[in-house]
Each structure stands twice: as structure tokens, then as C-alpha cells.
Structure 1
């Protein structure tokens, strides 16, 4: 029986690529592993951050939209990103670091059963650092040695992702019946699922909330991508989605991975993405994120595309 192997990446909206780059590289200590463009609209940057190679499960990605407005928070949206850190001492380290850099943050508390530190970037993107409690992390995650954060406190990768919806039951049904996620806990208004039981790097926290839909803007989350092994497995999951009655939004080859997009019944956009080929398809590990990389089908438009993009650093 095939299983979803965890999160692949998560994609957000930023108004300013330069400020975004400064925060995620120099404050959070993630590696910028790819500078590219939105393949559906190459007038905008698409920035990727993660571990040494942007391994599946570590990827935070951002579309730059310079004219985007504020996010108006609401329901039927992906509302929080969990990032795993090694220890409770790491949470104290990050609390001090956030104070030093003027990052909005709370006190050390708990979230989804783990010690936690909530914070936001300057655009209001809600995140939470979580002590991973010694749980296993994927073998393929690799540290970036040049990170600006002390080695023993560096962010490991993605943990629980929070999704707020009007109908908990509908999203639960999608996770259980199509993707075979395991229910870990449930109350009237919240449920926690894991793609692989006991492993937080594939965890989804569902919060049920009435009210208007979120109006996306800077600092909002566009979609969550979940991991599949390869093209063959992707086709199997695509057929399961179709058989369930849900509509495929798009199936495409992103060059660095293959993707299938669909919306569940609350309107949440999911992507299924293959593990490979990965970001080293057109770059050495050493050179990752140092220049604008374009997929082959956009390479002939490089001069036109570069003319529309501003400097990041």
C-alpha cells in the first residue's frame, strides 16, 4: 500500500523578494536553493528556501507579487507553518534571536502537543517553531553548513501544517479516504493527521472555523505540496483523486519535480510533487540559488524575463 511520505514544500505570497530573501536566509538561516520564476507567469520571481539542496520536506517557496495587498484572515485557508527545531533550548535561542532582529513572536508555549514558539515574518505569515522531541526526521535532510544560525539550533525542516476550514469532516475525508493519512487526535473543532504515524514531518492540523473565506495577500499561503516518490506513483494518486469525484486543477512537469494540483471540497489547493529530479537538475550543490535558473522551456525567453525582474541582493 502506497503512503504519502510527508510534506514536499509549501508556497506563499510575498510583496518584496529582497526583504523576503533577507529574512529567510539571514534571520531564519535557511538556504536559498533556487532563484527562478513562476512558470505560469514568468514576470514574477519564485524563490525556494530549505536545507542544503532544498530536500523534499524542507522547502518554503515564495511568489513575488509587488502589487499585492494585505491578507484578510478568515477560514478555508492554510493558516500556519510548523518548523522543527532540535530541542527546548533551541526555542529559547530563537526567542532571543527574534527579539534581536525585531521579529514578532510570543512566549514559549505548546502547539499540537509539542513545545512551541509562535512567530510571524514582516508580512504576517504565521509560523511556529516546534521541539521535535527526538522523533525521526527524513534521512535525506541535509544541513547547510553556511547557515547564520548556531548548528545545534538550526531549523530541521517542515513540521505540522495548519489548515482552517468550515468543514473539518470534508477535509478529514480527503486525507483519510484518498491519501490514507492516520487520525492522531480529534475534538469537535480540531483534528490532527499524520501521513506516517508517529512522524511530525507529514502532519496536518485541521481547525474548523466559521466565517468568511480568507482573502489572500502578502503573507498568505497559496498551497501545500505533499510528497510522492516518482511519476508512476503520481499517476496512481492522480487517478485516486479523480475516482473520488474531485477535479484535477492541473497536471504538469515543473522540471525540478512533476506535479498534480487539486482542490478539496473546502477549496484548499493541494499539490502532489515527486521527489525528483530535484534542484540540482541544472546546478551543482555549491552553486544552488546563486543565479536565475529557468526550466528549459523558458530559457529562450531569458533576456525578456530578466528585464522584468529587480535585484534581490
Structure 2
């Protein structure tokens, strides 16, 4: 059986790509590694932020939907994104930085067994900085040296992702029995799972909450993508998903990676995505994120697509 080595990326909804672009680059100090469009609806931007090359496990991805309404929070949704920072001193640094930039944030607290600092972006997306405390991170994560954030406090990559569901055991079975995640902690209304035991970069926190399902809008999380190495592994997981009785999208070629999508029993949308070929498939490392990149099948429509998009920095 193949193992899931961690998160690949996570995708959200933004109402305004320009404001989103400013926050994630100028405030959080991430690199915009790809400016492209939603391949299923090329009228909207699809922006990716991450490390130097947008390595799997560092990617925050946003679809721009200018007419989207507000999020009505509820259950059966992905509800928070954890981002790893190097140390407790980093949390103190970020608290001061958030105060400087008037970012909504809480106090330093504890989350999933780590010192943590919760905050929200300009559209109410819930994020939380987590002290990695010098622990191992994937060797291929590469720091972006032009970040506006001081080197010793830069965001490393994704940590614990929180999922809130009506029926915890249903999601637990998907993570444990289907994907082989390790159950780290379990109580009546909360559980923590790791794709690799002892590693924070593949961690999922599942919380049980009754009530109405979340109504997605700006600042909501669309789906979580988890990693596989290559197409062979992806085909294996496609069969596993279908054997479990879930409806699979089948393998979709996204040019920068290959994917499949399915909803588990609480309705949470998961993507399974390959590591490669990556964002340098049509760009040098130095030029990543600088211009509008389109997959080959959309290139012939470039003029039409660009005419429908508002320019962003």
C-alpha cells in the first residue's frame, strides 16, 4: 500500500485578487509562484503562493470570484489552515507584525499541542501560525530569499489543517482506514491525524460540530489536496476511492500536476495530486509568478482570457 506523504496544496475563494495578492505577498511574505486561471472556468484567476518554487506542502491557492458573497460559518467544511513557523520567537515576531499591518489576530495560545497564533486574512479566512520548534520539514522545501519577512521567522509551509464535520467517525474512517493516517489523539469531539507519524506537515485536525453546513463565500476553503508521488500512485488511489464507494472524478491533467477529486461521507472535498511536473513546467524559477501562465490547451484563447481579467501587480 502506498503512503500519503503530506499535504499538497489547499484552495480557497477570494473576492478580490489584487487585495489577496497584496496580503499574501506583502504581509505574509510568501512568493506568488503561479498566476494562472481556473482551468474549468478561465474567466477567473487562480493564484498560488508558496516557497521558492511552490513546493508541494507550501502552496496556498485562491480562485477569484468577484461576485461571491460572505461565508456563513458552519459544520461540514474545512475551517482553518495551519502554517508552520520556526520558533516561539517567530510567533512573537508575527504578533507584532500583525499589529503593524492591522491584521485581525488573537493571542499566542496552544493548538494541536503546539504554541500557536490565530489570525484572519482580509476576507475572514481563518489561519493559525504553529511553532515548528526546530522539527523536521520536507527536504525539498526551499526558502524564498526575496521575502519581505525576516529570514529566521519566515513561514515554512503548511501544518495542521482543521476540518469540522457533523460525524467525526466518518471522516476518521476515510483518513485512517483508506489513506493510512495515524491517529495521534482522540476525544469525544476531536481527533488529530498525521499522514506520517510524528510529522506536522501532513497533520489534519478533525472536530465534530452539529448544526447547519457552512455556506461558502469569500474567505472559505474549497478543498484540501494531499500528495502522491506520480501518476502510478494516483491511479492506485483512484481505484481505492471507488472501491470505498466514493465517486471519483477520475484523473484530471492540470498540467502542473495530475489530480483526482472526491467527496468523503461528510461532504468534504479532497483532491489527490501528484508532486510533478510542478510550476517550472512552463517557467524558470526566477520568473515564477510574474506573468499569466496558461496550460497548453488554453494558450490559443490567451487574448480572450486576458481581456476578461483585471490586471494585478
TM-score normalised according to structure 2 size: 0.99
Q: CA deviation at 1:135?
A: 1.8
CA distance in 1, matches of 2:175, 2:85: 26
**2:43 alignment counterpart:** 43
Q: CA deviation at 1:250?
A: 4.6
CA distance in 1, matches of 2:220, 2:251: 23
**2:226 alignment counterpart:** 226
CA contact (8 A) 2:238 2:250 kept: no
CA contact (8 A) 2:231 2:258 kept: yes
Q: CA deviation at 1:185?
A: 0.3
CA contact (8 A) 1:168 1:190 kept: yes
**1:193 alignment counterpart:** 193
**1:296 alignment counterpart:** 296
**2:100 alignment counterpart:** 100
**1:156 alignment counterpart:** 156
**2:61 alignment counterpart:** 61
CA distance in 2, matches of 1:136, 1:170: 30
**1:75 alignment counterpart:** 75
Structure 2 unaligned blocks of 5 or more? none
Q: What are the superposed Cα offsets for residues 115-160 of structure 1, whole Å, 9 maximum, x if unpaired?
A: 0000000100000000012221000000000000000000000000
Matching of residue 132 in structure 1 with residue 132 in structure 2: yes
State how 1:1-313 maps to structure 2 within 5 Å: 1-313=1-313
Q: CA deviation at 1:251?
A: 2.6
Q: What are the superposed Cα offsets for residues 209-248 of structure 1, whole Å, 9 maximum, x if unpaired?
A: 0000000000000000000000000000110111111111
CA distance in 2, matches of 1:53, 1:266: 33
CA contact (8 A) 1:27 1:101 kept: yes
CA contact (8 A) 1:14 1:219 kept: yes
CA distance in 2, matches of 1:239, 1:139: 30
SS in 2 for 1:141: coil
**How many residue pairs were aligned?**
313
CA contact (8 A) 1:79 1:163 kept: yes
CA contact (8 A) 2:194 2:203 kept: yes
What do you get for the CA RMSD once the two structures are aligned?
Answer: 0.6
CA contact (8 A) 1:249 1:263 kept: no
CA distance in 2, matches of 1:250, 1:261: 7
SS in 1 for 2:106: strand
SS in 2 for 1:215: coil
CA contact (8 A) 2:235 2:251 kept: no
CA distance in 2, matches of 1:201, 1:146: 23
Q: CA deviation at 1:249?
A: 3.2
TM-score normalised according to structure 1 size: 0.99
